Amino acid sequence: MKKKIHINCDLGEGGEHDADLMPLISACNIACGGHAGNLDTMHRTVQLAMENKIEIGAHPSYPDKTNFGRKSMKMSDEDLKLSIEAQVLTLKQIIEAEGGKLSHIKLHGALYNDAAKDENIARTVIDALDLLEENYRLFVPFNSKISEYAMGKYELFCEVFGDRNYEHDLSLVSRSKPNAVIDQKEQVFEHVFSMFRDKKITTISGEKINCKADTFCIHSDTNSAVEILEYLHKKFAEEGISIINS
């Protein structure tokens, strides 16, 4: 039986290549007004996803378009919970109006990182998702606080990043550092293939650490993202592996 790999991409964030990326991925995570996106971009991105028959996910964040959701925000638990609920519900309604279905949820940026390590934020996120009363799949970091709180309540997909370098504690190298992003297609393939085949993340220091990887993210704003994904299709096919696209 041919092996398959699941690749996701964050879209609807104002990039120019969403239409080119859609046919190359398994799932999209659509910005729903927190760090990026508005009703118009959500509608257009949902339509693109449905045309390409890929999984449609919500990509909520701290409500901070100024910093693209990449800085932590001090918010009350209630305000954060209501913000997440509102973002996801807005996208869900658009998806359903187009005749589709919301399949999963993946946090964005600083909220993703904070929920991975902060017990209170992780709990608040899960409380927000519980308000939706649906058992969505969650894309979460391996061995994170949010995965602990969601265990048994939601289907979890452990996510790793094909175009980002990792620190020894499996946190992502800060985007403030020059080696945070991997944007050479050959290096991205080696990084992803190692995680897929060996189930190990190679850190920035060269250490190999065990991981669980159900889905691999390539960011839409990474340089040459389309070229990278086309290259991954080619190289994985040579290895007898196909990228899932329903």
Report whether pLDDT(2) > 80: no
Cβ atoms 32, 91 nearer than 8 A: yes
Place of tokens 């998806």: 95
Given a cut of 80, is residue 223 above it in pLDDT?
A: yes
pLDDT of residue 205 exceeding 70: yes
Is residue 1 very low, low, confident or very high in pLDDT (cuts 50, 70, 90)? low
Angle at 64 between CA 180 and CA 149, to 5 degrees: 75
Distance CA 125, CA 84 (A): 7
For 16-51, what is each residue's pLDDT tens digit?
Answer: 999 999 999 999 999 999 999 999 999 999 999 999
Q: Which of 182, 207, 179, 213 is nearest to 195 (CA)?
A: 213
Tell me the C-alpha distance between 111 and 131, whole Å. Answer: 18
Looking at the whole model, is its pTM more than 0.75? Answer: yes
> 3-243 has which fold?
TIM Barrel (3.20.20)
> 23-32, 88-97, 237-246: which has the minimum mean pLDDT?
237-246
Domain ranges of the chain: 3-243
Longest Cα–Cα distance of the chain, Å, equals: 50
